[in-house]
Amino acid sequence: MFGITPSARLRPSPFFDATVAEGVQSFTTYNNMMMPTGYGDPESEYWRLINGVSMWDVSVERQIELTGPDAGRLAQFLSPRDLTKCVEGQGKYVALCNHAGTLINDPILLKLSADRYWLSIADSNILFWARAIACERGLDVAVTEADVSPLAVQGPKAEDVIASIFGDWVRDLKYFWFSETEVAGIPVAVARSGWSKQGGFEIYLMDGKKGTALWNLVKEAGAPYEIGPGNPNACERIESGLLSWGGDTDDATNPYEVRLGPFVDLDVPDDVVGIKALRSIKAAGPKRQQLGAVLESDVPTALPSRWFDITAGGEKIGDLTNCVWSYRLKRNIGFALVSAQLQPGAEVVVHKDGAAVPAVLCKLPFI
Amino acid sequence: MFGITPSARLRPSPFFDATVAEGVQSFTTYNNMMMPTGYGDPESEYWRLINGVSMWDVSVERQIELTGPDAGRLAQFLSPRDLTKCVEGQGKYVALCNHAGTLINDPILLKLSADRYWLSIADSNILFWARAIACERGLDVAVTEADVSPLAVQGPKAEDVIASIFGDWVRDLKYFWFSETEVAGIPVAVARSGWSKQGGFEIYLMDGKKGTALWNLVKEAGAPYEIGPGNPNACERIESGLLSWGGDTDDATNPYEVRLGPFVDLDVPDDVVGIKALRSIKAAGPKRQQLGAVLESDVPTALPSRWFDITAGGEKIGDLTNCVWSYRLKRNIGFALVSAQLQPGAEVVVHKDGAAVPAVLCKLPFI
């Protein structure tokens, strides 16, 4: 693995010191911040998530805060999903698109109040985007990056850990709903959320100076459950069919191609960015679709840094956008962004690291 | 140094394979791409740039291409610098600002023709930004990321290397001017440009499949001049006073605070994004300024990943935004973004890694 050179362009997280104390060994970058990706034993970190409870620094999921009388209008302009019934304390998964209907981020939108929203973003610059739309339309809204940094607690034992810290009320939180509270003088919001399908919560730290304090508090509360450090797990998220914007998408991907059609409401007003294009795309039918691919090989693959061509009958029919060794399936699996004309079960060839590897397409998720 | 985990979100450069063959050891990320930062001997790489010639992969300087009848209008809307006299083949350094007059990128704008421009960008998402402005204003222009990847050739011997490849006409190129051409079937644009003050050129590769071919061609041509691999050099750029957007700036930095006032023309039309705010900022006087800081210490510092507080008389008066051991000055030096009321020569304290280090402010550049 190559080294990553320190730079002030790549900001450390409020949890950086805590993760270094835990023995973090590797990082990725995301929204111009450093995000831990491993502590030296990827398989143990995976099984801890599947069978127990894991804690992750996902402060890179920045909160783009919309504040002011027009905050709700801007939220709706940015989101091709009907937000009229979204209430305070509720979060919704939204598929932000540009004017051409291309997916530019897939955040959780959190409604804090009638005039205050967060977009908890994936890896693209929505601060600039939202400001451009707001200013060009003359809206009365401030768009800022809030001092809010999520800490994820994920896995089947996560709820017990979170309840032991905050109380049993967290057991009643619905998915993506949240509540503002505090613990040991640390202001937080607690949401049932997280980038895994193993269940869990995200604690939104609302004071960047208290990252180590929050980390240690969760670590101590989780000790009876054998909590340990982890990261947004490449293996689990691929098994579970979770999208990585920018990894599994390109500059032409629309929501329908990557299974986000259910989050688009075509009857939102015409001034929602991209909605006219999305209606046309939906009417014509998307050209690509996202399926799974199971590769023929018993040798675990390394994580790739680029897409691989997929062919059928000698013709390119799409791309393998990620690939990982599945600890549960004992196979190399990945996401195939392929022609909409293909069917699950189709036999294809993945051109990976100079080799032609037979593969079979399937529906997502894998598990 | 921590490892960097491969991810398709962090795209490899067309020169990636060539840099691996050269023995690259570390990377940073920039515009969601991997950029080489070192080949194992930083001091030799530095002196090669100062005394000889170095070649760098700066494909991360993506080209945001504006094409169509309104390309020129969009370029001017985005740039608070008068472009009316910019001609084909000319490049200009521009300070892109948002509506509040905050600096959001400092690209080179290259005019390829009346209806085609490139913005050769620093590390922020101008693709989204430019599209938002273009679409909200209903302009007839396509905004895309072109398949164009700069390879820098820098140092006092760079001109001889470039002339040996392309001919002596390159010796007449003015700073930031460029010309489209080809070499060995590889389409390129050659510009007198580069992120160092040692002189040199950037070869804009216009076919991403030919990165290794171009790298090897330059390497061979440079062999008589003892060319070797390098990177945008942290030490040289700080000695030379070159700005790193996002590293030396924050979400409130305007051009006047970081010595870019000369690139702002306040008499451009009112519809240029940010110009009204910039007029107000100029009239009121900027609150901060960028100076150099020379730290008292004979121990070379490691590159920092965050800003350090600067105090004077016990009060915080600004931040040290970068810091490096200068091989020429034999001192730790950095950029100080400090109150506009301070003067060069002021004695301050830098709070760095838990220590209080005395420092003296000075004008930039250092050398």
Inter-chain residue contact A307 with B244, CB threshold 8 Å: no
Instruction: Please enumerate in sequence order all residues whose Cβ is within 8 A of that of B6, keeping only pairs 6 or more positions apart, or say none.
Output: A302, A303, A304, A305
Q: What is the pLDDT of residues B246-259, one digit of tens each?
A: 999 999 999 999 99
Query: Among B4, B7, B50, B52, which Cα is nearest to B24's?
Result: B4
What is the reported pTM? 0.97
* Chain A hits for B136, Cβ within 8 Å: 132-133, 136-137
For residues B324 and A75, what is the distance between their CA atoms, to the nearest angstrom? 43
Say if residue A73's pLDDT is above 90: yes
Inter-chain residue contact A12 with B135, CB threshold 8 Å: no
Inter-chain residue contact A7 with B27, CB threshold 8 Å: no
The nearest CA of chain A is from the CA of B6 a distance in Å of: 5
Inter-chain residue contact A124 with B123, CB threshold 8 Å: no
* Chain A hits for B322, Cβ within 8 Å: 8
On whether the CB atoms of residues B165 and B183 are closer than 8 A, the answer is: yes
* Chain B hits for A34, Cβ within 8 Å: 2, 305
The nearest CA of chain B is from the CA of A163 a distance in Å of: 33
Q: Provide the pLDDT for residue B353.
A: 87
| φ, ψ for residue B334, nearest 5 deg | -165, 175
Q: What is the pLDDT of residues A94-112, one digit of tens each?
A: 999 999 999 999 999 999 9
The nearest CA of chain B is from the CA of A26 a distance in Å of: 4
CA-nearest residue to A320 within chain B is B8
For residues B129 and A125, what is the distance between their CA atoms, to the nearest angstrom? 9
Mean pLDDT, to the nearest integer, of B158-183? 98
| φ, ψ for residue B235, nearest 5 deg | -70, -50
On whether the CB atoms of residues A231 and A154 are closer than 8 A, the answer is: no
- Angle among Cα B143, A268, B138 to the nearest 5 degrees reads 30
* Chain A hits for B303, Cβ within 8 Å: 5-7
Mean pLDDT, to the nearest integer, of B283-311? 95
On whether the CB atoms of residues A289 and A310 are closer than 8 A, the answer is: no
Q: Provide the pLDDT for residue B298.
A: 84
Q: How confident is the model at residue B339 (pLDDT cuts 50, 70, 90)?
A: very high
Amino acid at B27: F
- Angle among Cα A6, A11, A14 to the nearest 5 degrees reads 120
The nearest CA of chain A is from the CA of B123 a distance in Å of: 8
Q: What is the pLDDT of residues A326-367, one digit of tens each?
A: 999 999 999 999 999 999 999 999 999 889 999 999 999 999
* Chain B hits for A247, Cβ within 8 Å: 7-9
The pair of three-digit structure tokens given for residue A95, joined into one six-digit string: 């598929």
**H or E stretch including B345?**
none
Annotate B247-256 with b (16+ C-beta within 10 A) or e (fewer). bbbbeebbbb
For residues A2 and B5, what is the distance between their CA atoms, to the nearest angstrom? 8
Structural domains of chain A in order of their starting residue, each with its CATH number: 16-62+147-237 (3.30.1360.120), 63-145 (3.30.70.1400), 287-367 (2.40.30.110)
State what percent of residues in chain A have pLDDT above 70.
100
Q: Say which of B26, B132, B302 has its CB closest to residue A136.
A: B132
Inter-chain residue contact B10 with A27, CB threshold 8 Å: no
Say if residue B1's pLDDT is above 90: no
Mean pLDDT, to the nearest integer, of A305-325? 97
Which of the 8 DSSP states describes residue B88? T
* ipTM for the whole predicted complex goes beyond 0.85: yes
| Half-sphere exposure at residue A263, Cβ-oriented, CA atoms within 13 angstroms | 21
* Chain B hits for A24, Cβ within 8 Å: 2
Give the per-residue SS3 of A218-283: HHHHHHHHCCEECCCCHHHHHHCCCCCCCCCCCCCCCHHHHCCHHHCCCCCCCCCCCHHHHHHHHH
